[in-house]
Amino acid sequence: MLGLVVAVSLVIGFVVAAAAIGRETRRLSQQPRQPVWRLEEAAGFVAAEIPFEVAAKTDPETLRQLLRLHLNELQFNSELDDDQDIADSSTAVQNLYRRARSDDIEVTRPTVDAIMNAHLQYLKLIGALGPTQSPT
């Protein structure tokens, strides 16, 4: 008799747990995926998008350092007004250039501008800035 009570309670516990997991799985599957920034993926995208002249002057480690700096700039130091757009801000380019130079990264301002614009395209593509775009 005791074995029957234990077996029934185990079955009831399993059914309750399966129902709870199924409900949460269904709820989570209906939510949009959160954008995930990956350094290697971002570096590959930016390297393919920037002009050849800029890519030829930029080694992969410098590109990764600039991408990290730009992402940190967007996350922590962004002081944009509501009517100011991130993509066309010359002050953002200047701030990133100054930050790169203070970290002893040898780059030119046009290089920083091209990398920053391509990085913003990547962030828009993955959905981190605005709605997700389909790759063209």
* CA atoms 124, 127, 130, 132: torsion sign: positive
List, for residues 111-133, the tens digit of each pLDDT value: 999 999 999 999 988 888 776 55
In which domain, by residue range, is 114 found?
A: 39-126
In a domain, 134, yes or no: no
Kindly state whether residues 11 and 54 are assigned to the same domain: no
pTM of the model: 0.68
Judgement on whether residues 57 and 119 belong to the same structural domain of the protein: yes
The number of folded domains in the chain is 2
The per-residue pLDDT for 74 is 84
- 40-66: per-residue pLDDT in tens? 999 999 999 999 999 988 999 999 999
Residues 73-102 have pLDDT tens digits of 888 875 554 445 554 468 888 888 999 999
| 49 lies in the same domain as 96 | yes
119 with 94, same domain: the answer is yes
- Count of beta carbons in the 10 Å neighbourhood of residue 31: 7
- Predicted confidence at residue 7, as pLDDT, reads 95
